[in-house]
Structure 1
Amino acid sequence: MGFVSVIIALLLVTPVVYLVVRVMEIGADDALAYLFRPRTGQLLWRTAQLAVLVTSASIVIGVGAAWCVTRGVRRGRAVVVALLTAPLAIPSYVSGFVWTRLFPGFEGLWAAVLVLTLACYPLVMLPAMAALAGTGGREEEAARTLGCSAPTAFLRVTLPRIRTAVLAGGLLVALYSISDFGGPAIVRFEPFTVGIYNAYNGTLDRSVAALYGLVLATIAVVLALAERRVRRDVDSGATPPRSRDARDRPVAWTLVTLTVSVGVCVPIIGLLTEIRESRRLGFDDFGELLAWVAPYTRTTLELSAQAAVVIAILALPLAFFISRPRTRTGDSVELVSYLGYTLPGVTVALSMVFLGTRVLPSYYLTAGMLIATYVVLFLPVCLGPVRSGVDAIPLHVADVSRTLGAGPLATAVRVQLPLLMPAVLAGSALAFLSVAKELPATLMLAPIGTRTLATDMWSLSNDLNHGRAAVLGLVLIIVASIPTAALSTLFGKGVDR
C-alpha cells in the first residue's frame, strides 16, 4: 500500500511542480515585472473582493438555513435539506446564464457575488447544520427566559458554540470563490481565474498565464491549510447528543421558501422560459431535440463515470495507507493528495497544458490526459468519504481475518472492501458530480471533437444561441442532480436521527 500510495502522490503533485518550473523559466526580472504591474494588482483586488463578499454572504445565508432546518422545520426535514442543497447541482455558470437573461445588464462584482453565493451557501449550511443539531435549543430558551430576544440569544449562546464549524465552511467558500471560473466569466467579472484563461487564450507566450496561475495557487494553498487546521479542531471536539427540540416555525418556513425560490426555482424556471421563448432552437419535434442532446449527454456521462471509477480505485489504497497506523509519510501523502483540490481548475489545467505540450505531446488533448486532470482535481472529494469509511472499520476485523489465514490483500478484498462499499459509492457520486460540472479544464484539455454539456453550453452562450444553451443547462442540472439527491437524502436522514 505504501509504495503504491507514494507513486500516486507523486503523480498528483507533478502538474504543480511543472507549473513552478515553467514560471522559473521566465526569469526573475521578467517575473517581478509581470508580478508588480497594475493589472496583477487589479486582478488580486477583484479576487479578494469576491472572496470576502461571497464568504460573508454565504455564512449569513448558510447559518440561517441551518437554523431553519434544525430549529424551525420538523415535518419533511429530509425534503427541505434536499431542496436547500440542490444548488450544489446547479453550476455557477448555469445560474449566471439565467440571471443575465432575466435581467439585462446583470454583470460585474455584485452579479458574481450573487451567483457564487447561491452556489456556495450549502458549504456553510451543512457543517453548521450538523453542529446545531448537536447543541440543542435549551440553552437558547434559558437565555430568553433571562430577558434576551431570540436573535440575541442565538448570537450570544449558540453561535460561539458552532463558530468553528461555520469558519471551516466559510474557508471552503473562500476557496471556491477564488477558484471558480464559469460564474464570474459569464457575468463579465474578471478575477484571477478569468484573467488566467484570457492570458492563456490571448497570446502565444503563456508565461503570464503561468505566473498568474502560481500566484492564485499560492493563495489557494494558504486558504486550504487554514481550512485544514480549522477542520481538525472540528473533528477533535466531542459531539453531544442529538437534539429533538425542533418545531415548525412560520419564519423558518418563510426563509426556506425564499432561499429555495431564489437558489433553485429561479434558475430552473429561467431555463424553461428561455427554451419556450427562444426562436433559434430549430427543432421540429421533441424527438429531434432529444437526438441533438443525446451525444453531449452521453459524452458527459461517460467522462464522469470513467473519471469516477479511476478516482475511486486510486482512493482506496490511499485511504488505507493514510488511515492506520498514522506515519509522517502517510501525513505527507495525505497533504499532497489534497493539493489538487485546493488549486483552481484553470491553474491545474494550465499546468497540464504545459506538461502535455512540453513533456508528453503524444498524450496532449487525449481522453487519458483529461481524465488524469480530473483525478488531480477531484480525488480528494472521493478520498474523504473513503477514508472515513476505513476509520469506521473496527481494528479487530482485520486481525480476526488474518488469524484465519487470510493475507493483507485477501483481507482487504474479501472483508474490508464490502464494508467500505457505501463510502466508496458516496465518494464516487461526489467525484461524478464534480466532473460533470467542471468547465475550464474540459475547455482547455478536451480532445478535439469532444463536446460535453458544460463546454457546449458555454460555446452556445458565447455565440448568443441562448435557447439551445438553456436546453443543455437544464439537462446538465438533471444529470448533476442524481448524485446530489442521493447525498442530500443521507444528510437529511442524519439530521432526523
Structure 2
Amino acid sequence: MPLVYLVVRVAEADDVWGIIWRARTAELALGTLALALTVTLLSLILGIGLAVAAVQASGGRPWMVGVLATPLAVPSYLTGFAWTRLFPGFEGFWAAVLVLTVACYPLILLPVAAALGGSGRALTDVARTLGRGPIRTFATVTLRQLRPAAVGGALLVALYVLGDFGGPASVRFESFTVGIYNAYNGAFDRVLPAVYSVILIAAALVLATVERRARRADSRPLSAVQTAARGADPRARALAWVAMLATLTVAIVIPVAALIREIVQSRRLAGRSTGEILAWAWPDVAATLGYAGIGALVVTALALPIALYTAKPPRRGAGLVEKVSYLGYTLPGVTVGLAVVFVGIRLGRDFYLTPGLLIACYAMLFLPMAVAPIRTGFDATAGSLSDAARTLGAGPWSVLWRVRLPLVAPGIAAGAMLAALAIAKELPATLLLRPIGTSTLATHMWSLSNDGASGEAAVLGLILMAVAAVPAAVLSTLLLSNGGRQ
C-alpha cells in the first residue's frame, strides 16, 4: 500500500532526478546517514555491554534487564523535550545521537540478553581452560555467539533512526523525516516527500541485504550446554553497576525529573486530586492498551510465517520476502499514514477512520520488530534438536509445533512486546488514522503540548512510561528464566 501511494506521487514529479541530485537532498542524506551509523554503533556497544553487565558481571538477576529495557517506554521526542527543557541549547547532531541512542539500545539489549541467558558457558569455560584471557575469550567466543542477535537488533536500530521524526525534530536536527514532515505541513507538497521516502526505501533495502549476509556467516547455533556461573571480579562488578546506573540516569531519571518539574509548575493541575487526574487520563490509557495489545497480536501472527520462511536453511525468495517486510518500518509514520488514508478513502467510509484500518497501518510500520527476534530464535533451533526429532520419526509440522515453537517462545514474546511498545508510542500515523473521538496517550500528550498545557502533557507522559515499562520488565524476566533452562 505505501509503495503504490509513493509510485503515484513520484509519477507526478516533473524532474525526479533533479530532486535527487540537488544540494538539499545530499545534505539531508549525509546527515541522516551519519546519524544512523553513529547511533547504531553506539547502540551496539551500549546494548551488548549492558547485557553482559546485567546477565553476567552483576549477578544475572532478570529484573536488571527489565529495568535497563525501560527506555523503550520513553518516546524519543519525550527524551528530547526533557533535555532541551533542562539544558537550554541542547540541539544539533550530537543531541540527536544521545536522544536516539538511549531510545534504541534496548532493541539490542533484549535479544542479546536472551542469547546470553540461553547460550550457556560451556564454550567460554573451554576457552578459559585453554589459556585465553577474559578479553580474548569475550571477543572470540562470546561475541560470536551473540552476533546473530546483535546484528538483528542493529538492523532495527538503523531502520528506526531512518524513520524517526520526533527525536531529531525535538533537538532541531534536520534528517530526511524532518524534511518530509516540513514539506507536508509547510508547502503541502506531496511529490518531494514521496521522492525522499523512495530514497529511504533504497537505504532500507541496502541495510536488509547487509544484515542478511552477515547472518549467513553465522552458521552455527548457540550452545545449549549450561554450566555453573562463576562470580565476577569485584572491579568488573563495580564497573558494571556504574555503567548501568549512568545509562539509566541519562535515559530515565532526567526525563522523569523534567516531567515532574512541569507537573509541579503547572497551574492547570493545581487543586486537582490524584483520583481526578487518573479518571481524566483513563480513556487514553484504555485506548492505548487496547490498540497496543490487539496490534501486537496481529503483528506477531504476521511475523511468524515470515520469520520461519526467512530463517535457516535458506529458501528461494527468502531474501526478497525479508526485504519487503522491512520497507514499512523505514518509512516515516506520516508517509505510511498518508498512504493508508489515500487507499482508505477509496475503500469507502465504512472502512476509513476505523480501528481495523489503524491496526493495518501498525502492521505495516512495526512488522520487522517482531520478525527479527522470532527469526533469530528459529535460526538458533535449526540444528541438532530439529534433526534429532526428524530421525525419531517426527514430521515437519510435528517438529515445528513440539520442538521449534516452544524453544522460540521467548523470541515470540520479545517480538510481541517490542511491537506493543512501538504501537503505544506511535504518534504521526495515529494522529492521521485514529477513529473520531478516540485518543491515545501519545496523541493526547502531543495535542496538549501544542496547546501549551505542558503540565497535563507531562502527566500523560509519565503514565505512558509506566504503562510501557511493565511489560518490558515482565518479558525480560521471561527471557532470562527460559533462556537459562534451554
SS of 1:136's equivalent in the other structure is: helix
Q: In the alignment, which of 286, 291, 294 is matched to residue 298 of structure 1?
A: 286
User: Residue 177 in 1 paired to residue 161 in 2?
Assistant: yes
For the pair 1:471 / 2:456, whether they are aligned, the reply is no
Give unmatched runs, 5+ long, in structure 2. none
User: Structure 1 pair 232/94, CA: closer, same or farther in 2 (3 Å)?
Assistant: farther
Counterpart position of 1:251? 239
CA change 1:478–1:490 in 2 (3 A) is: same
Deviations 1:318-349 (A, max 9, x none): 56777799753666545433443344434423
- Aligned-pair distance for 1:285? 1.7
Distance 2:52 2:143 in 1: 14
| AA at the equivalent of 1:230 | A
Alpha-carbon separation, structure 2, partners of 1:324 and 1:139: 27
Q: Secondary structure at the match of 2:188?
A: coil
Q: Which amino acid aligns with 2:93?
A: L
Pick from 347, 358, 366 the counterpart of residue 360 of structure 1.
347
Displacement of 1:180 in angstroms is 1.4
Spell out, residue by residue over 1:152-206, the C-alpha distance to the aligned partner (whole angstroms, 9 max, x if none): x578656864684445543432222112122112222221112111211222331
8 Å CA contact 1:337, 1:380 repeated in 2: yes
The yes-or-no answer on 1:372 pairing with 2:363 is: no
Equivalent AA in structure 2 for residue 36 of structure 1: W
Q: Classify 1:355/1:422 alpha carbon distance in 2 versus 1 (closer, same or farther; 3 Å).
A: same
Contact 2:311–2:378 (Cα < 8 Å) also in 1: no
Q: 1:41 aligns with which of 21, 26, 32?
A: 26
Give me the whole-angstrom Cα distance separating, in 1, the residues matched to 2:458 and 2:280: 13
Match of 2:104 in 1: 120
Q: Are residue 110 (structure 1) and residue 97 (structure 2) matched?
A: no
Distance (Å, rounded) in 1 between the aligned partners of 2:157 and 2:19? 29
AA matched with 2:5:
Y
Structure 2 counterparts to residues 2-13 of structure 1, below 5 A: none
Deviation at 1:105, TM superposition (A): 2.4
1:62-81 paired onto structure 2 within 5 Å: 62-74=47-59, 77-81=61-65
Confirm or deny: 8 A CA contact 1:82 1:492 kept in the other structure.
no
Distance 2:126 2:142 in 1: 14
In the alignment, does 2:45 pair up with 1:82?
no
Letter in 1 for 2:273: D
**Shift in CA distance, 310/162, structure 1 to aligned 2, threshold 3 Å:** closer
1:328 to 316, 321, 343: 316
Q: Secondary structure at the match of 1:328?
A: coil
3-state SS of the aligned residue for 1:189? coil
**2:263 maps to which of 258, 275, 278:** 275
* 1:200 partner SS: helix
Residue pairs, 1:219-234, within 5 angstroms: 219-234=203-218
Of 214, 239, 244, the match for 2:198: 214
State the shift of 1:373 in Å: 0.6
Contact 1:47–1:191 under 8 Å retained in 2: yes
The residue that corresponds to 2:432 in the other structure is 444
Going from structure 1 to structure 2, the CA distance change for 1:262 and 1:467 (only over 3 Å counts) comes to same
- Residue 16 in structure 1 maps to residue 15 in structure 2: no
Instruction: Give me the whole-angstrom Cα distance separating, in 2, the residues matched to 1:67 and 1:326.
Output: 30
* Secondary structure, aligned partner of 1:106: coil
Q: Does 1:287 align with 2:275?
A: yes
Distance 1:338 1:475 in 2: 30
| Counterpart amino acid of residue 99 in structure 1 | W
**1:53 correspondence with 2:38:** yes
Number of aligned residues: 469
Tell me, yes or no, if structure 1 residue 432 matches structure 2 residue 417. no
How far is 1:310 from its partner? 3.2
CA-to-partner distance for each residue in 1:49-77, whole Å, 9 max, x for gaps?
Answer: 21122123223322332332344212x62
Do the aligned partners of residues 344 and 251 (structure 1) sit closer, same or farther apart at CA in structure 2, a change above 3 Å counting? same
Letter in 2 for 1:345: G
Q: Aligned pair in 2 of structure 1 residues 468, 162: CA closer, same or farther (>3 Å)? A: same
What is the letter of the counterpart of residue 231 of structure 1? R
**Judging changes above 3 Å, is the alpha-carbon distance between structure 1 residues 160 and 320 closer, same or farther for their aligned structure 2 residues?**
closer
Separation of aligned partners in 1, 2:100 and 2:66: 19
Matched-pair identity in %:
47
Could you give the per-residue CA deviations for residues 95-149 of structure 1, whole angstroms, max 9, x where no partner exists? 222222222222222211111111112233345543696553674797687xxxx
Question: How far, CA to CA, are the matches of 1:241 and 1:412 in structure 2?
Answer: 22
Rate the CA distance shift 1:195–1:250 in 2: closer, same or farther, 3 A.
same
Matched, 1:341 2:325: no
Q: What does residue 6 of structure 1 align with?
A: none
1:119 aligned counterpart, secondary structure? helix
Alpha-carbon contact 1:224-1:342 (below 8 Å) kept: no
Separation (CA, whole Å) in 1 of partners of 2:275 and 2:212: 49
Query: Aligned partner of 2:440: which letter?
Result: T
* 361-370 or 125-134, which deviates more: 125-134
Structure 2 CA distance for partners of 1:193 and 1:133, relative to 1, 3 Å: farther
1:376 Cα offset (Å): 1.2
Q: TM-score, normalised by structure 1?
A: 0.80
Q: Distance in 2 between matches of 1:319 and 1:63?
A: 23
Contact 1:304 1:432 in 2 (8 A): yes
Q: 1:355 to 1:84 in 2, by over 3 A?
A: same
Letter in 2 for 1:266: I
Take 1:218 and 1:452, find their aligned partners in 2: how far apart are those partners?
Answer: 32
How far, CA to CA, are the matches of 1:65 and 1:133 in structure 2? 18
Alignment of 1:304-323 (within 5 A): 304-315=292-303
C-alpha distance in structure 2 between counterparts of 1:71 and 1:190, whole Å: 40
Contact 1:136 1:245 in 2 (8 A): no
Counterparts in 2 of 1:396-411, with a 5 A limit? Answer: none
The answer to whether the aligner puts 1:261 opposite 2:249 as a matched pair is yes
Structure 1 residues 65 and 133: alpha-carbon distance in aligned structure 2, compared to 1, 3 A threshold: farther
Tell me the SS of whatever aligns to 1:105: coil
Instruction: Decide whether aligned partners of structure 1 residues 59 and 431 sit closer, same or farther in structure 2, where only a CA change above 3 A counts.
Output: closer
Matched, 1:94 2:78: yes
- The residue identity in structure 2 corresponding to 1:17 is V
CA distance in 1, matches of 2:312, 2:127: 38
Q: Which runs of no fewer than 5 residues in structure 1 stay unpaired?
A: 1-13, 403-407
Q: Structure 1's 326 and 106: CA in aligned 2 closer, same or farther, altered over 3 A?
A: closer
1:241-300 CA-to-partner distances (Å, cap 9, x unmatched) read 456234252222222222222222322333233222323335522222112211211221
| Offset at residue 223 of structure 1 (A) | 1.1
**Retained in 2: the 8 A contact 1:199–1:209?**
yes
